[in-house]
Amino acid sequence: MMKLTTIFAALGLFLVMGCSQQSETPEPLDYGYLSLNLSLTITSEPANGRTLAVNTDDFRVTIFAANGTEVMVFDPFSTAPAEVSLPTGEYYVEAHSNNLVDAAFENPYYFGRSDNFTIDKEELKSIDIEAELANTKVAINYSTSVVNTFHSYTGTVTVVSSGASLFYDQGETREGYFLTSPLAVEVNLSYTKLDGTTIERTFTASIADPQPKTLYNINVDATLEDGKVVFNITVDEGFDTVDIDLGDATGNPNANWSPGDEWTDERDGEIYGTVQIGDQVWMSENLRAVAYPDGEPIPEVQDDVTWWSNNTPAYSWLYNDQLTYERPYGAYYNYYVIDHKELCPAGWHMPTMQDWEDLESFVVSDGYLGPVGEALKATYSWANDNNGTNAYGFSAVAAGARSSVFSYVGELTYWWVAPDTYYTGPYSSGITANFFPWGDYTYRVGLNVRCIKE
């Protein structure tokens, strides 16, 4: 935990009362003399381990009457005379470093105000004022995991009332100094996948009641596991740690979801891209679930003979190599899985044949100049230069199918169709050279699943 920097300015006010015995004309008895002495003392270790010299010559010192009327100003303090005469009465003094801005790096602002004091005749009085750091300080720190994994990591802290902000570029280690006013924090991380697409995250936090003399450490920790990004952002407030939950209060990661955003499958934490095409919203990736939404597991079968002779629900990964092929190909399910119960997460469902036909109709009516299949194909994975344009973001990859062995990988792809009153058996939709809305298969074939939003 970093220690905070507290810098105090001691302003001694000495009142010299009475008349000078060497003066031929004594001053009136209702006046005294004020002597100003301003100095700074470091009383604790700075947060960053460095002690910075602060020049008090540039401070602005103001003497006020008790009613707030400005009596005398020394700006800068170096212009103040050795002694100042003041009428008897009640006063207070303010001193500050005269450099206040809403937000800036390396710009600490110090401010102090004395208690009210009274200047009486023939009385010597010493008044002290403590000028403290009046800013809120913010630093953004990234874990080793973020630095080693993500290609870009930046942050911005903004004063909500004025919009003034500081941009913390990649590698920025300086502490920003801000007004003690509500602050908004935004952290951006991005990772470029092997297929050239980018995973981007923007997270926000807030410091609703920032305090002076306080360093807020925004500690950003993120890991990338099989394409899933897990973020943990906390705010370190002085010697107390305050965790800021960047999700919603209910803990639902999809509470603020809208079409086009990523969707988190709460059964396993898998994150899927989504895309709106016409009136439909589809997942733009094949399903990777290995259990039903209610938690019932689906057995994995790897052996080819066992797969083809099996009469119960089962799934597999392409070439039985999850690490290499889980993305982008997804899981392969036999139809016993589909026939058992709904496989898509809550709020989504397996597309019916009508859903697939509506997708095809929209692309045709939208005026795409080319085959429907070309518009839906991803721009990679298809053999013989038959990659698509992915014009609608559907990102269909050439996953092939599994019968007794895996086949047609790179050439075509199929998805299971949900059973309805007409299509009650193992029907599929898919893409070869073009899009076709149906096919008739056996229960034992392994095909992929796409989900559509309800």
pLDDT over 90 (residue 314): yes
How many whole angstroms separate alpha carbon 224 and alpha carbon 232?
12
Give the residue carrying structure tokens 């070869």.
432
Per DSSP, the residues of 296-325 read -B--B---HHHHHH--S--EE-GGG-HHHH
* Assigned CATH for 7-133: 2.60.40
Task: Read off the pLDDT of residues 267-313 as tens digits, 9 standing for 90 and up.
Answer: 998 999 999 999 999 999 999 999 999 999 999 999 999 999 999 99
Beta-ladder partners of 185: 157, 205
The pLDDT, as a whole number, for residue 146 is: 83
Determine whether 396 is exposed, middle or buried from the number of CB atoms within 10 Å of its CB (0-12, 13-18, 19+).
Answer: buried
Task: Read off the pLDDT of residues 218-264 as tens digits, 9 standing for 90 and up.
Answer: 988 876 655 544 555 544 443 333 333 333 334 578 877 889 999 99
Residue of 336, 342, 294 whose CA lies nearest to 316: 336
The pLDDT, as a whole number, for residue 123 is: 66
Task: Read off the pLDDT of residues 61-96 as tens digits, 9 standing for 90 and up.
Answer: 899 999 999 999 988 888 877 677 788 889 888 888
Euclidean distance between the first and the last CA atom of the chain, given in angstroms as a whole number: 48
CB 134 within 8 A of CB 212: yes
Burial pattern 270-300, b for ≥16 Cβ within 10 A else e, equals bbbbbbebeebbbbbbbbbbbebbeeeebee
Give the residue carrying structure tokens 């893409």.
431
Neighbours of 101 (CB within 10 A): 14
Token couple for 12 = 């001694």
Residue 366 binned pLDDT confidence (cut-offs 50, 70, 90): very high
Task: Read off the pLDDT of residues 187-221 as tens digits, 9 standing for 90 and up.
Answer: 988 888 777 778 777 777 889 889 888 889 898 88
pLDDT over 90 (residue 145): no
CB 266 within 8 A of CB 253: yes
Q: What contacts 95, CB < 8 A, 6 or more positions away?
A: 9, 11, 38, 59, 60, 61, 62, 77, 110, 111, 112, 129, 131
How many whole angstroms separate alpha carbon 295 and alpha carbon 356?
28
What is the enclosing helix (H) or strand (E) of 327?
helix 322-329
pTM of the model: 0.49
The pLDDT, as a whole number, for residue 273 is: 96
Neighbours of 440 (CB within 10 A): 9
In the chain, CATH 2.60.40 sits at 7-133
CB 34 within 8 A of CB 119: yes
Would you call 399 helix, strand, or coil by DSSP?
coil
How many C-alpha atoms does 442 have within 13 Å on its Cβ side?
Answer: 11
CB 138 within 8 A of CB 175: yes
**Selected residue with higher pLDDT from 316 and 125:** 316
The pLDDT, as a whole number, for residue 224 is: 64
How many whole angstroms separate alpha carbon 321 and alpha carbon 444?
20
Neighbours of 158 (CB within 10 A): 20
Burial pattern 193-202, b for ≥16 Cβ within 10 A else e, equals eeeeeebebe
CA angle 204, 261, 435 (to 5 degrees): 165
**Selected residue with higher pLDDT from 25 and 173:** 173
State the chain's mean pLDDT as an integer: 81
